[in-house]
Amino acid sequence: MASPTDVRKGKVLNYQNNPHLVLDVQHRTQGRQAGFMQVTMRNLNTGASTNTKIRTTDSVEILHTDMVTLEFSYIDGDGYHFMDPETFEDVILDESLVEDAKDFLVENQAYSILHVDEKPISIDLPASIEMKVTESPEGVKGDTASNVQKPATLETGLTVQVPLFIKEGEVIKVNTADRSYAGRA
């Protein structure tokens, strides 16, 4: 058990018997009362965020975490297969674990997987991912108003709005936070 003053952004706490990732921490005091930590955290099992107060006289459990880099290989009936590039071990992740990241999983690309107590919990996506355009209609000639865009389907099935000059077969960068076009690769 640790003191609440040891809680920092990025740590994982055992809160109500679930792992919670700490998003923000503020130490507060009120007059003559004991101080407390105002903690914003996200449940790693459900994705729900919560804001709670932890008194400095309480104790908290900080869980052991590791970031493991794995390469995405393929999908089958068992789940999402990742390979450890050092040991060549096959790691299978359940679909519920990769729910938010599945549109950004490109074969042979490395991803950081957050492990809590040696159990995979979530995929940490990079800020942008390079993906190949598999389907994109031609732009209409004369359609040159400012910032005209068209839909493009990428290799993972994700559809994003791209400028008219993007063609099938090109590789583009996609922002993972808002699923938007970020430029040519």
Domain boundaries defined on the chain: 4-55, 65-124, 128-184
Q: Interior CA angle at 100 toward 92 and 93, to 5°?
A: 5
Query: Which overall architecture, per CATH, does domain 4-55 show?
Result: Roll (2.30)
**pLDDT tens string 34-51:** 788 899 998 887 878 899
Q: What percent of the chain has pLDDT above 70?
A: 96
Q: In what order do the strands lie in the sheet with 49-55?
A: 12-15, 18-28, 36-43, 49-55
Tell me the three state secondary structure of residue 104. Answer: helix
Best CA proximity match to 79, nearest among 104, 100, 102? 102
User: What does DSSP say about strands 90-93 and 171-175: parallel, antiparallel, or unpaired?
Assistant: unpaired
**pLDDT tens string 143-179:** 566 678 889 999 999 999 998 888 899 999 999 889 8
Please list the residues that pair with 116 across neighbouring strands.
65, 119
**Residue 70: per-residue pLDDT:** 92
Q: Do 4-55 and 65-124 have matching folds?
A: no
Q: State the burial class of residue 66 (Cβ atoms within 10 Å of its Cβ: 0-12, 13-18, 19+).
A: exposed
Query: Which overall architecture, per CATH, does domain 65-124 show?
Result: Beta Barrel (2.40)
CATH class for the domain made up of 128-184:
mainly beta
**pLDDT tens string 96-107:** 788 778 899 999
Q: Does residue 4 carry a pLDDT above 80?
A: no
> Using an 8 Å Cβ cutoff, are 93 and 72 in contact?
no
Chain centroid, CA 13 distance in Å = 18
- Name the pTM for this structure: 0.73
Please give the structure tokens belonging to residue 28.
């507060």
CA–CA distance, 70 with 146 (Å, rounded to integer): 41
Mean residue pLDDT across the chain: 86
